[in-house]
Chains A and B, each alone.
Chain A
Amino acid sequence: AQSVTQLDSQVPVFEEAPVELRCNYSSSVSVYLFWYVQYPNQGLQLLLKYLSGSTLVKGINGFEAEFNKSQTSFHLRKPSVHISDTAEYFCAGSNSGYSTLTFGKGTMLLVSP
């Protein structure tokens, strides 16, 4: 089964600064990777996904992630964050469909003015 590790439980950052949220996955023949965002008291919302093709994936709200097979990483980046980006971010991965989707423990992004 796929396993996913989010290396930081919290990332504090100032508004308009760049941010990177780190995610590593266990290596496998095939892997499908996702980033979700959860705003307070809400369900999860898909930011972006990697199924195949280009290793640089662009998502909503200005976020992007790069699939790096040699480093088994799928880090999420944004060049300039806003206060409204304050939320919890989850990396998730699977080998074979949503029934085997494994979530990381989450990274809380705290954006301050």
Chain B
Amino acid sequence: DAGITQSPRYKITETGRQVTLMCHQTWSHSYMFWYRQDLGHGLRLIYYSAAADITDKGEVPDGYVVSRSKTENFPLTLESATRSQTSVYFCASSGSSWEIMFFGPGTRLTVL
């Protein structure tokens, strides 16, 4: 199906474990983004990518790693999960700077 998908939708993990959240879009959009949403903070940008093999830090990148070997995929890895990374994570994509940004359905991550 066309669109932007995230997997898993829900994940529970333990402190110190590595976790990878997947994001896939079918539009061949150049730009992709990872946000986290926390109560009282709105959405904060973790990392973004302007094209395959080009990534850059956002507002809150510490503890996260991204890669973009293919245009359609933008995985987010928590190298060693901490409780403070418990959050809802949203992936988004856009064709260019000011075209509509489409959001995925989100991944709810709980770190115990």
- The reply to whether B98 and A51 contact each other, CB–CB distance below 8 Å, is yes
Number of chain A residues whose Cβ lies closer than 8 Å to a Cβ of chain B: 19
Contacts of B103 in A (CB 8 A): 43-45
Chain A nearest CB from B44 CB (Å) reads 7
Interface residues of A in 49-99 (CB under 8 A from B): 49, 51, 90, 92, 97-99
User: What bracket does the count of chain B residues touching chain A fall in?
Assistant: 20 to 34
- The reply to whether A46 and B101 contact each other, CB–CB distance below 8 Å, is yes
Cβ 8 A contact of B45, one of A46, A49, A99: A99
Contacts of B73 in A (CB 8 A): none
- The reply to whether B97 and A98 contact each other, CB–CB distance below 8 Å, is yes
Given A41-B105, A42-B105, A97-B97, 17 other A-B residues pairs in contact with their CB atoms under 8 A: A43-B4, A43-B90, A43-B105, A43-B106, A44-B43, A44-B103, A45-B103, A51-B98, A90-B43, A98-B31, A98-B98, A99-B48, A99-B58, A103-B42, A103-B43, A103-B44, A104-B42
Q: Which B residues are within 8 Å of any A CB, using their own CB?
A: 4, 31, 33, 40-45, 48, 50, 56, 58, 90, 92, 94, 97-98, 100-106
